[in-house]
Amino acid sequence: MKTGGLGGANTLKGLNFENKVDFQKLLGEIPGYSIAKIPGKAGMGVFFEKNLVARCFQKHEFYKFLDDSKVNWQSMRSKRLLPDDAMLVIIRETLFIVEIKYQQVAGSVDEKLQTCDFKRKQYLKLVAQLGLKVEYVYVLNDWFKKNVVAVFSAFVAAPLPSPLKPIVRLA
């Protein structure tokens, strides 16, 4: 939320932050990596030295991937979860859900961080028949370092097995 204003779709700084951390663009700038459309497939291919190593999906592209994979996701979810980015690392058989969050003042985004375990379990249900693991990753701006200590300490202190702990990175 902007100070004294409306949150959600009305925040330009959040959209600027999301553009700054454009996951696919960042991957494509790493030497040896390239991003390209795979004809007839959802999302984008991630290539390392011309070999397909991963696939990336943004928002609705994830559900096109599920459709292409013959997953009947409609029977599992009443509402779509729309990841900012999702990356399927082929060799690891792991789907990384990447959520990008920007905050300037207290608001609902810091509360949304606490839903990662629920959302991760929902993504696990969606890809279970594909045999994929799921990791949930946040990319956050510096505001979170100073203002949401309780949420982060809960992630670190929670007696969860390693695969259930969210990966927290501050951009």
> Are 7 and 103 a contacting pair, CB within 8 Å?
no
pLDDT at 100: 85
pLDDT at 47: 96
Average pLDDT over residues 92-121: 83
Q: Cβ of 36: how many Cβ atoms within 10 Å?
A: 12
Whether the model pTM is above 0.75: yes
Residues 116-152 have pLDDT tens digits of 888 999 999 999 999 999 998 888 888 777 776 666 6
Instruction: Round the average pLDDT of the chain to a whole number and report it.
Output: 80
List the chain domain ranges: 8-170
Distance between CA atoms of residues 82 and 72, nearest Å: 16
